[in-house]
Structure 1
C-alpha cells in the first residue's frame, strides 16, 4: 500500500481503529499515527489509554529507523523528532497514563503499566 500514499493509509488506519474499538474489549496496540484523526481521538476518550513514550535513541536501538518505515525514509532521526513534536501533544491528550519505555525490558514496562492502572483505580 506504500504506492497508494499516506492519505490512503490513514483512511485504512481510521477504519481499523474504529472497528477494533467497537469489537475488541482487550488491549489494543495502535500505530503511532492513529491519534492524528480527531474521530479516533474522540473514540479513545474515557478509555484507559497508555502512552508508551520513548526517545529517538531508543527508537533507533529498537527499530533502526530503516526502510520499513516510509515516513522515516529521509533523515530518519530528524523526521522522527518532528513527528514526535507534532504527535506527542495528541498522545498525551488521549492518554490517562504515560509510561517511559527507554532502557526498560518489556516485563518492566508491563509492570509499570499494571502499577499505574492499580494506582489510578481503572477498571480491568
Structure 2
C-alpha cells in the first residue's frame, strides 16, 4: 500500500487518483469512505463532534491499509498514534502546499470544517502536524505550483524506482 498524507487542500485525492491510474492500481480515499458510510463530514462534526469523526476515520484508515494500491488519508488522520505506527509498514508520500496556494484552493470550500475561516485556520491547524507528516514520510512532493499531471508522473516514477 502507498499512502498519501498531508494537509487539507494539498491535493491528496486528486493526485492520488492520477498516480493510481498511471500505475494501474486501485485508489481509496478515507474521507470518501467515511462520507459514503456516515454522511457529510461537516455534518458528522456538527452532530457528533471531532472525537467521533476521528474514531470513524481511524476505522477507515485501518481497513484501507489492508488493501492494495494508493490510499489517501484525511489531513488529521496522522494524529492517531495507531495510524502512525501502522504507516511504518507502508510507503508514505507527503504532499505539501504553501499557504498562498492553499488559500486559492480553500476559497469558497465549505466541506472542511476545521478551516472554515480560511488560510489562517489552515496555518494554525497544520503547524503542529507538520513534524508528524515529515517524520512519517518516505518522500515529499510540493503541489503548490506544478501541474497535477506532471506531479503524478514524478510521484509514479519515484514509486516504481524505489
Shorter-chain TM-score tier: 0.7 to 0.9
Q: In the alignment, is the contact (CA less than 8 A) between 1:66 and 1:72 conserved in 2?
A: no
Provide closer, same or farther for how the CA distance between residues 14 and 65 of structure 1 changes in structure 2, counting only shifts above 3 A. farther
Structure 2 matches for 1:70-89, cutoff 5 A? 70-73=113-116, 75-89=117-131
1:44 aligns with 2:44: no
Provide closer, same or farther for how the CA distance between residues 6 and 70 of structure 1 changes in structure 2, counting only shifts above 3 A. same
Provide closer, same or farther for how the CA distance between residues 65 and 82 of structure 1 changes in structure 2, counting only shifts above 3 A. farther
Q: In the alignment, is the contact (CA less than 8 A) between 1:35 and 1:91 conserved in 2?
A: yes
Q: TM-score, normalised by structure 2?
A: 0.67
Unpaired runs of 5+ residues, structure 1, are none
Count of aligned positions? 118
Structure ranking higher in strand proportion: 2
Runs of 4+ in structure 1 over 6 Å off:
none
Tell me the C-alpha RMSD between the 2 structures: 1.5
1:35 aligns with 2:73: no
Q: Which has the higher contact order (CA 8 A, sep 6+)?
A: 2
1:71 Cα offset (Å): 0.7
1:95 aligns with 2:95: no
Give distance in 2, aligned partners of 1:103 and 1:93.
Answer: 24
**Structure 1, residues 65-119: CA drift from partner, whole Å, max 9, x if none?**
632211112x322111111211111111111000011111111111221233345
